[in-house]
């Protein structure tokens, strides 16, 4: 573990940005996540900011205002990296620089900070901003870390043997498509692909009728490892810049036909949605939990195991999925919760994902993205996909307004939210990752 509880986690800290002190706020001064934004509707260049309450601190303006004139060399290198239009340069600097900048920002945003008069001019309300992806994503790997999801989905297709024999030995993943990753608020066009029903002799080309969401956590890589050099388990967290929300949209009917023998392809490559704010691993330090697995399961292989991993590699992060249908939106009704789960249910930790990913010598780079896989919990109400919630489409979900859903319909907006909350510490949140389904491409193929 590279971080410890320190002054930035102090629950007595308050900010001169008043909205950051409100109970239940996602972005108190103990959080300070990074994102990339500009004023909505402007032609300004995108720039890096930090969420504080309902505001964004523009780091480029804060730098220009002289807020960091007295900073040490490490902090100065970090703040200079934030003058770029994405987080990649900052991510490449490593944990010491990230920690130095976080401490400096915490002190600048605290209630008694003398710089507040100057820095008020560097704020922009979040509801006046539009967002871009926080980093230029070079590669994207999606994992399958929830044994509850793997078992529930496997039971739909293989009732007698739902969990494949390799699951408890190896973190399963596939390489996704980086070019179709978008930021919260994106429109997701219903994909078209080959679909074959069980009673059909041949497949047809058609828009997906079984479009689904997947509730996931995104892991953004900072730093890199040389090609050919694996990352040991106790150094894996030094490669993690932070976490965000991730919706890995999935076309289940396309997936069912194409996934053998090489796994998902068109069923996943059409869109992935990220939340705009990246919560640093340091901010999540108070919410660490022990990592373990059932005693009768095989222990992890030595390269995936360590005393530190067992002691605190888990993360207690609440996760939820909500839906707002077109009818709900027209009636002014708020999104309705579909499920709630927790990241601590993961069968594999984020450090194990990194170590396994690099076991072959694969070189991760700053800005790479790992998806956790669908985060389902042990009960049906904690399922992270409609595939599970509707039992493969056999049991439609009844919504409060009388509508039903087995899979997503055009006009549906899916909202992912997450937060970490623990007695004795300040609650921190992740904001939202939302996306709206729109009609399929209409031109002939």
Active-site positions read 149
Burial environment of residue 179 by CB neighbours within 10 A (0 to 12, 13 to 18, 19 or more): exposed
Closest CA to 229 of 243, 239, 219, 241: 239
> Which residues touch 160 (CB under 8 Å, ≥6 apart)?
none
Cα R_g (the chain), whole angstroms: 22
Q: Is 16 exposed, middle or buried (0-12, 13-18, 19+ CB in 10 A)?
A: buried
Beta carbons within 8 Å of 332's beta carbon, 6+ residues apart: none
407: three-class secondary structure by DSSP: coil
Token code pair at residue 286: 């108070």
- How would you write 189-215 as a 3-class SS string? ECCEEEECCCCCCCCEEEECCCEECCE
Backbone φ, ψ for residue 45 (5° rounding): -75, 150
Quote the CA–CA distance of 32 and 105 in Å, as a whole number. Answer: 8
Neighbouring residues of 37: CB distance < 8 A, sequence distance ≥ 6:
46, 47, 49, 56, 124, 129, 130, 131, 132, 276
* DSSP code of residue 360: T
- The number of CA neighbours under 13 Å toward the Cβ of 419 is 16
Q: Structure tokens of 130?
A: 């539009």
The token pair that represents 207 in the structure block:
């828009």
Give the C-alpha distances (Å, rounded to integers) separating 113 from 4, 54, 67, 283, 401.
24, 19, 11, 20, 49
Please give the structure tokens belonging to residue 107. Answer: 């002190």
Q: Residue 84 in contact with residue 77, Cβ under 8 Å?
A: no
Determine contact, residues 34/60, Cβ cutoff 8 Å.
no
- Give CA–CA dist 319/331, Å, rounded: 26
Q: Which residues pair with 85 in a beta bridge?
A: none
Category of 278 on φ-ψ map: left (φ > 0), alpha (ψ -120 to 50) or beta: beta
């Amino acid at each position: 573990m590279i971080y410890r509880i320190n002054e930035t986690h102090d629950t007595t800290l308050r900010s001169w940005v008043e909205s950051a002190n409100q109970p239940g706020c996602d972005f108190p001064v103990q959080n300070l996540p990074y994102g990339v934004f500009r004023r909505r509707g402007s032609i300004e260049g995108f720039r890096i900011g930090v969420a504080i309450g309902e505001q964004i601190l523009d780091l480029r303006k804060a730098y220009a205002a002289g807020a960091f004139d007295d900073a040490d060399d490490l902090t100065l290198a970090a703040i200079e990296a934030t003058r770029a239009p994405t987080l990649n340069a900052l991510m490449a600097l490593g944990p010491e620089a990230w920690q130095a900048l976080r401490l400096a920002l915490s002190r600048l945003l605290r209630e008694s900070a003398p710089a507040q008069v100057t820095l008020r001019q560097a704020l922009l309300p979040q509801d006046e901003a539009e967002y871009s992806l926080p980093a230029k994503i070079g590669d994207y790997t999606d994992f399958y870390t929830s044994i509850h999801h793997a078992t529930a989905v496997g039971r739909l297709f293989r009732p007698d043997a739902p969990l494949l024999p390799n699951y408890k030995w190896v973190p399963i993943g596939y390489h996704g498509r980086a070019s179709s990753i978008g930021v919260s608020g994106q429109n997701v066009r219903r994909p078209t692909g080959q679909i074959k029903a069980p009673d059909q002799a041949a497949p047809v080309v058609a828009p997906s009728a079984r479009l689904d969401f997947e509730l996931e956590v995104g892991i953004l890589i900072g730093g890199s490892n040389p090609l050919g050099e694996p990352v040991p388990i106790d150094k894996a967290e030094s490669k993690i810049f932070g976490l965000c929300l991730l919706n890995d949209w999935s076309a289940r009917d396309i997936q069912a036909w194409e996934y053998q023998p090489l796994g998902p392809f068109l069923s996943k490559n059409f869109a992935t949605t990220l939340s705009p704010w990246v919560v640093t691993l340091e901010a999540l330090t108070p919410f660490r939990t022990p990592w373990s697995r059932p005693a009768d399961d095989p222990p992890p292989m030595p390269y995936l195991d360590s005393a530190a991993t067992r002691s605190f590699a888990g993360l207690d992060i609440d996760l939820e999925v909500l839906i707002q249908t077109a009818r709900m939106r027209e009636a002014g009704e708020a999104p309705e919760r579909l499920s709630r789960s927790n990241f601590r249910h993961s069968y594999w930790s984020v450090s194990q994902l990194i170590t396994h990913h690099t076991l072959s010598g694969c070189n991760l780079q700053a800005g790479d993205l790992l998806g956790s896989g669908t985060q389902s919990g042990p009960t049906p109400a904690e399922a992270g996909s409609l595939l599970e919630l509707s039992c493969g489409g056999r049991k439609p979900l009844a919504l409060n307004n009388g509508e039903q859903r087995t899979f997503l319909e055009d006009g549906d907006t899916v909202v992912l939210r997450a937060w970490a909350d623990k007695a004795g510490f300040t609650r921190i949140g992740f904001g939202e990752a939302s996306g709206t389904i729109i009609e399929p491409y209409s031109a002939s193929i």
